[in-house]
Each structure stands twice: as structure tokens, then as C-alpha cells.
Structure 1
Amino acid sequence: MNKVVRLAVMGALLAAAVPALSATPVTLTVASFPDLDRDIKVAIPLYKKIHPEVEIKLVSRERVDHVNAVTTQLASGTGLPDLVGLEIGFVGRFVASGGLEDLSKAPYNVGQYQSQVTGYSWAQAKGPNGDQYAIPVDIGPGTMFYRKDLMDKAGVSEADLNKSWESYLAAGKKVKAATGAYLVASPVDIKDIYIRSNLKNGEGIYFDKSGKVIVAGNPRFENAFKLAKEAQDAGIAGNIKQWTNDWAAGFQHDQIATQPIGAWLNGHLAHWLAPDEGGKWRATNLPQGAYASWGGSFYAIPAKSTHKTEAYEFLKFLTLNREQQLATFKEMDAFPSLKSAQDDPIMSEPLPYLGGQKAREMWREAAKHIPEIPINKNDGVAEDIINDQLDQVVHQNKDIKAALADAQADIERRARR
């Protein structure tokens, strides 16, 4: 079945199940950013078959510009889109702004759909009182991508990579000696995934439920800093920042042997970061049986949207419609948040870029174990401060406990503003 016919059949099935809202033409403005904007592009022709009276206007800006524009619009109450795409790192800020519609209350009552969505991602869009301000559209189960050819050359097995964090670093030393490649692009990569691993339900990354900073004296942060510094001192961590040209070059030129991150990296590697390296990469679970969330996207309705009813219907289509979730998954490899989409046979298909590995089954299982971590409006601030202190530890030999004590004080000070 070709793509045109498939879309037509899908649209007909959906149209039979969903009545039109109104015969009155409506134009919905959706604000998004790359690559999430591709989700909207996939959805538009399918949604038009159900609601021909609704036009979708997509306004896409680069991530930083998108965040700045939405921040200004919510603050001023002018120029607002009807629906806004959010990256996990900014959900807390926008929830705290008070500018988003509370979807847990009538007429939405989205709690009725909670059981249909991956639990930890649903929790990431809650406010401090348990109110729901956004619905997840895709998730990022944490995983470790690794170059199998480099591991083979160094005599390193997959078990060596994920048996323990200590074994992981020891494997990195072998890889560096045999191939010259870094185990990780940056010590930040180790810290990032470690501090997100194996949290308890309700435990935040930087803050507890009451908003108290939980950094200083926390073994989770101390161990993360210790492992990151050990990697730096051993010369197995580079100084390559994510989302830079150097990061892409590292994947393309055999400089990065592993990358602990969200499962979504498979699509990025295959389509634009390192498309010529297909077949060399594999994925495995994180070290020491750790489970972590890394990334994810959401949709929310601004409280002053002028088309809330129509925006809500489109939001549900994007996040709760199995066919749309699968269509987006096939287009951009964004792991679906909807559980029914995760049960599709596509999850058992071999991935050519990963040498035919059926990695999606592993990621689906990982998503079941990731704890529900609440967000805080100051998570982004805390992350910047932690990264600054880590830099002082790994490059200036600052004492770890002192660095975390300084980070705690700085986060507390910034959070009071």
C-alpha cells in the first residue's frame, strides 16, 4: 500500500469515528520548533479528513526563539497561539507561569485518559497541586548507544558496558587505548544520565516534593560528579558539547564510542548526525540496571487561546490517537507516549541503523520502569548551576562536596527570586 492510499484509508477510519465540531471554518495556530514541528506536518492532512472545517497554521521557530516568543506571549496575553509544543526542559517554567490552561478541570477532565499514556511522562506535566497542564506526545527512555565495531576492536562486550558504572569506565579505557575514541563526548553526559537514574516515584531531580533543593550531601550527585571526574582524568571523556558541529563530527569520525541519552537519538543519528555510520551502532540498557528519562515533548493550550475547544480536539488527536502517534513515529522516530501505539508490531521491527537490532522492544520495557519524576520551574536554573560546578570539579579540581554545597546555595538563592 503506497503512502497516499495509506493516508486515505487512515483518514477514512478516523473520520468514521469522530464527528465534526462545527461547520464554521476555524484556523488554529500551533507554535512549535524543529523537530517537533514535523509532528504537526504529519498530522495536518490526517486531521483535515476528520475536520475539514479546521485549518492548521504552523508557526515554527528554533528552540530558543520558540521559548522566548511563547514566554513573551504568555506574559503579555497577546499574539498567543491556540496550541503550543513544549520540550520537557521548559514545561516546568511554563506551568509555573500560570499562562496555560488547566486540563484536569472541566470541560477537559483529561484525568480520564491518564491510564492510556506512559505514566512517568504524564506526571512530568503536572503542576505542584497535581493539576495537569500539558499532555505528552513522545517520550525519551534512557539508553546507551555504542559503536559495536569499536568495542569489538577493543575486546569490549556489551556486558562490560552495562554491568556497572565502574565496568563502563574500565571499558572506556580499553576503547581509548585500542581505537583512540572517547567513551563519551563529555563528562557532562555521565553526570546527566546518572542523576536521572533510578529515582523514586515523586522524587525530583534537583528538588523534592516541597520544593527543597536536594543537591548537597546527596550521594546521587556525589557519585555522578565522581564518575564524571574519573572519566575526565582518565582521558576517556572529551570536551564536546551536545548539539554542536563538533558533536556531529564526533559521531561521523569515530571519536565518540558511546552516548548515554534518550532513545530518540537513533533517528537523529540515522537521518542527520551520522547517516553514513549505519550498521556500526547498537543500543543497550544503562549501566547497573539503571532506568532514566531523557527528553520528551508535550502540547499545552494557552489559557487565553481564542479557540480552546478546537485546540483541545487537535491536542487529543496528536497525543491520544493511535494512528497519528504511529504515523509520526514512522516519519520521525519519536517514541510514542500512547501505550496502545507502543504495542504495535512496528516495535519489533529490526532497525537497520542499529545493525538489525530490535531495540524498540528494549526501550518499551525501559519506559515501564522509569519513575514518575515531578518537575520544578527552576529545574533549568539548577541544571545550569550544576553544570558550572561540574566544570570546576573536572577541570579545576574543585572538591566535589564543596562544589555541591556551592551549587545548593546558588540554586536556593536563584529559586527565591
Structure 2
Amino acid sequence: MQTPRRTPVAIAALAACSVLVLSACGGSGDTATPAAGGPVDLKVNLFGTFGYQELGLFEEYEKAHPGVTISYESTQDEDKYWPALQTRMASGAGVADVQGIEVSRIADVVANQPDQWTDLRDTPAADAIGRYIDWKEPAATTPDGAVLGLGTDIGPMGMCYRSDLLQQAGLPTDPTQLAAQMSTWDAYLALGETFKAKAPAGTAWADAAGGIYDAMTSQLAVKNYDKDGKLIFDSNPDLRSRFDTAAKAAQAGLTAKLEQFADPGWDQGFSSGSYATIACPSWMIGYIKGKAGDGGSGKWNITSLPGGAGGNWGGSYLAIPESSQHKTEAAELISWLTAPEQQARLFEKVGNFPSTKDGIAKVSGTTDPYFNNAPIGKIFSDSANAAPVQILGAQDGVIKNEVSQALLSVETAGVTMDAAWATAVNNVKNQAG
């Protein structure tokens, strides 16, 4: 492993651009391509819902490539997936041919683990590197030019809400009218107070204080690190003010006091109606469909995020560990999975918003009948266009987890916001330096 170094990565706002004509690894096609070196079992380990299994893409790829078998494993919680992967990599056993890397981890990979991952410039995936929006691949590129992952998606933000619950509380359900009444985060929380006064029994305004914080900070240009790679989490006033806003929402009883992705009650809330709104990156619309089921169709809708700006939460990469014995075949697979055609199909099926230029152009007019025919292509394209430049740091994942736990302590244990913030700062310093 190289000497650790912090390398900030500029994340540029998605800009309007012409559609590229891309030829590398496009659609599914009809021609079967046998595995060059004989039968190959490719192991793919991911987290959450990338959509490949759900859309049948692994099976489709196997049919088009006789001799290639894909063994797939997924861990729902990325916070469990990543430490387990680090343990496997350290032991040299159990690492797959393709591993997913969440965007909050990519700076750590680039800075501290470049020798453990395959430089895709030296593989059949090389032709795919240039097809992304301007900031996606640089985030996975080392200072000496090695490209360590192909982008899957990005996470432009919206606000998902239960139309039926808002209607019962006498609030507007039309997306445009609702957006006008919560154009700022203060207005969003004020509307939450109105909802609380008339809300159906057992229903909170928002799911979690941590989710509110993540959404607000997704709109900041500078978060945990400055442009020189210095950790400024404890001294950035924009972070502390947003932490206090989220904590006040919890103290006011506006949240359901649930931990996102970890609390079974959070999953159940999508169908049970334990919360009326949730800040949702594009990939979460597929998650909502899965958890709310058919009974949620027509109850959910989407509008723009408060705050007057777009945001980005999420977006991952597919990477090949250096230990893989099937780098060529793995590179061909990830190039196909992340091609514009597959990205567009994934957005329409599970909500993962494309990170390729051509993929974005393909989904701009997409609507979703599950969400009252919401123009999800436009909503999330607009959010991506309005997203600010951000800087990723090596310990962003650690910081996100500590803040989430601190806010949860305010919600569930009555810890004061000052004490919760102090705990988060102390834990971040102990882990991130």
C-alpha cells in the first residue's frame, strides 16, 4: 500500500452537453460472444440495489457470452459491506472479480488503495472511460492517471412524499404547489409543523434527522474537506448550522426517529405511512417501490428538493480488485453493465440515474406511473444540473456515519444538540485524523 495521502476530488455540477455517439459496449445485442479463455465464473459482490439482478442483466449477459457464469452476492447495508471487503482484501481471500465502491469511499480508494485495484486503462474497459459526465471518472482517477472504477450512476435529489397523508392533513399534493410552499429548508420544517398539527395518527413529517442533514449538505460546495484536502468538518459553519437544523427538527417531533437502512421500522414506513416525506436521491425511488409494494402505487409522488439548489447523494463505481484472476472478462462485463443503454434501462426500472452523457439524454423525458406519472427524468436532470461543485475526502463515509449516529442520539435518547455534535466531532477526529 502506498503512503496515505488525502487527495480532494472536485465534483462539478452536471452541465448541459451534446450527446456523444458512443460505440463501446452498447446495447444487449443479439450476437453471442464466447468467453475467450474458456468457461469463466465471474464473482460480483455489490451492496444495496444496483438493479442488475432485478433487471435480469446478469442473465442477459450470460446468454450473450456462452461460457461466462456470474455469481452474484449483495449486502444490503453498505456500512457492513465496506468493512467486510477491507477485511477480505487484507486477508487475500474472498474478494470478488467485480466489487462495488460507493462514492463516499472512492476518494479513500484513490488516495490509499490504488495498488489494490486494477487500472482500467489496461483492460477492455479502457474505451468506456470517456463516456461520462465531466466529473464522474476524475473522482476515480489517481494523480498519475490510473482509473480505478467505472461509474454506475449519480444521485440527484428530489423530495418524495405521500400524497394521501398530505391530503389528510390539508396540505397541497400537487408537486408544483408543494414545492412553492417549501422552497427553503426553514419553510419545509414550518410546513412540517402544520402537518404535525393535523397529521394522521402515527405519522411524522420526515423519516430521520440524518436524512434531512444529508439532503441539506448535498447542496453545499464545501463540506468535510477544503480544496487542499484538509479536514474541516469541525470548523465548517455550514455543516454545524445544518446539523442544528436537523437536530431541531428531531426535537420538535417532526421526525419518525428511524435510522435509515438499518431500522426495520424505516423500511416498513414506506408502506405503513409512518412518515410523509423523505429526501430521495433518484436511486431511492426503486427502493421505495420495493418496500411499499403495489399498495404504494399512486400514493407516492416527487417534487424538487428545498433549498433552491440541486444536490447529489450517492453514485457508485464498479471496480476490479488487483487480485482478480479474470481481469479481461471482468472488464468486459463492467463496461457493458455501465454502458448508456443499460444505464437508461436501469433508471426506468429502479431509478438509478445515468452517469454517462448519452444515458442522461436517453432518460430526460421519463415519467413514472408509480409516482403519479411524475416527470422523474426532468426532476432529476434539473437537480443534477443545479448541483454545486463538491469536494470528496477520504473519510467522507466515516463522517456521514458519525453524524447520523449523533442525530439519532438526539432523536431517540434526548441528547442535546451541542453534546451530540461534540461526540460526532470527537469520533471523527479519532477515526479520520
- The interval holding the TM-score normalised by the smaller chain is 0.7 to 0.9
Q: Which residue of 1 aligns with 2:57?
A: 43
Asked if the contact 1:120–1:371 (Cα under 8 Å) also holds between the matched residues in 2, the reply is no
Distance in 2, Cα, partners of 1:286 & 1:315? 32
TM-score normalised to structure 2 length = 0.80
**Aligned ranges for residues 325-336 of structure 1 at < 5 Å?**
325-336=343-354
The alignment status of 1:122 with 2:141, answered yes or no, reads no
Q: Which residue of 2 aligns with 1:3?
A: none
Whether 1:168 aligns to 2:168 is no
- The equivalent of 1:212 in structure 2 is 230
In the alignment of these two chains, the number of paired residues is 397
- Structure 1 residue 101: Cα displacement: 2.5
Provide the secondary structure at the position in 2 that maps to 1:411: helix
Structure 1 residue 331: Cα displacement: 4.1
- Does 2:238 correspond to 1:193? no
Question: Secondary structure of 1:32's partner?
Answer: strand
Q: How far, CA to CA, are the matches of 1:100 and 1:373 in structure 2?
A: 26
Q: Which residue of 1 aligns with 2:321?
A: 302
Q: CA deviation at 1:93?
A: 4.7
Amino acid at match of 2:271: Q
Q: Does 1:234 align with 2:252?
A: yes
Q: In 2, Cα distance between the equivalents of 1:139 and 1:99?
A: 25
From 115, 138, 155, the counterpart of 2:171: 155
- Which of 131, 147, 150 is residue 132 of structure 1 equivalent to? 147
Shift of 1:309: 1.7
Does the alignment pair 1:348 with 2:365?
Answer: yes
2:394 corresponds in structure 1 to 377
C-alpha distance in structure 2 between counterparts of 1:325 and 1:208, whole Å: 32
- What is the rounded CA distance, in whole Å, between the counterparts of 1:235 and 1:59 in structure 2? 39
Q: Shift of residue 74 of structure 1?
A: 1.6
Q: Deviations over 1:122-148 (max 9, x none)?
A: 344344766432111122211111123
Cα distance in 2 for partners of 1:236, 1:65 equals 29
Q: What one-letter code is carried by the residue in structure 1 that aligns with 2:370?
A: Y
Which among 261, 264, 271 is matched to residue 252 of structure 1?
271
Q: CA deviation at 1:299?
A: 0.5
Question: For 2:237 and 2:60, how far apart are their aligned partners in 1?
Answer: 49
Cα offset for 1:224? 0.8
**Identity percentage over the alignment?**
28
Which AA in structure 1 matches 2:96?
P
2:170 maps to a residue whose letter is: A
Q: Which amino acid aligns with 1:175?
A: F
Matched with 1:5 is none
SS at match of 1:356: coil
Alignment pair present for 1:56 and 2:70:
yes
**In structure 2, C-alpha distance between the alignment counterparts of 1:340 and 1:207, rounded to whole Å:** 31
SS of 1:228 mapped into structure 2: helix
Task: Map 1:355-374; keep pairs closer than 5 Å.
Answer: 355-374=372-391
* Counterpart Cα distance in 1 of 2:150 and 2:65: 21
In angstroms, what is the RMSD of aligned CA positions? Answer: 3.2
AA partner of residue 206 (structure 1): N
Shift of 1:249: 3.1
Change (3 A) 1:285 1:159: closer
Q: Which has the higher helix share?
A: 1
The answer to whether the 8 Å contact 2:192/2:205 transfers is: yes
Task: Work out whether residues 152 and 355 of structure 2, in 8 Å CA contact, stay in contact via their aligned partners in 1.
Answer: yes
Aligned to 2:11: none
- Structure 2 partner of 1:179: 199
Q: Distance in 2 between matches of 1:240 and 1:297?
A: 25
Please report how far the alpha carbon of residue 407 of structure 1 lies from its aligned counterpart in structure 2 after TM superposition. 3.9
**Whole-Å Cα distance in 1 between the matches of residues 48 and 269 of structure 2?**
22
Q: How does 1:82-121 map to 2 (within 5 A)?
A: 82-95=97-110, 96-98=112-114, 100-103=116-119, 105-106=121-122, 110=126, 113-121=128-136
Q: Secondary structure at the match of 1:288?
A: coil
Residues 389-400 of structure 1 aligned to structure 2 (within 5 Å):
389-391=406-408, 396=414, 398=416, 400=418
Q: Is the 8 A contact 1:93 1:377 kept in 2?
A: yes
Q: Indicate conservation of the 8 Å contact 1:118/1:368, yes or no.
A: no
Asked if 2 retains the 8 angstrom alpha-carbon contact of 1:73 and 1:80, the reply is yes
Work out whether residues 348 and 366 of structure 2, in 8 Å CA contact, stay in contact via their aligned partners in 1: no
Q: Give the Cα separation in 1 of the matches to 2:409 and 2:95.
A: 41
Distance of 1:62 and 1:190 partners within structure 2: 21
Contact 2:283 2:350 in 1 (8 A): no
Code of the residue aligned with 1:70 in structure 2: it is L
Tell me: CA distance 1:210–1:145, structure 2 relative to 1, closer, same or farther (3 Å).
same
Specify whether residues 130 and 163 from structure 1 end up closer, same or farther in structure 2 by C-alpha distance, changes over 3 A only. Answer: farther
Cross-structure match for 2:15:
none
Taking the aligned partners of 1:207 and 1:404, their CA distance within structure 2 comes to 17
Secondary structure, counterpart of 1:188 in structure 2:
helix
Cα deviations across residues 30-79 of structure 1 (Å, max 9, x unaligned)?
A: 22344236348723343345432433333444546643443233213334
Which residue, out of 299, 311, 321, partners 1:292? 311
The CA deviation at 1:172 is: 0.6
State the SS of the aligned residue for 1:295.
coil
Q: Find the aligned partners of 2:121 and 2:333 in 1 and give their Cα distance.
A: 18
Residue equivalent to 2:17: none
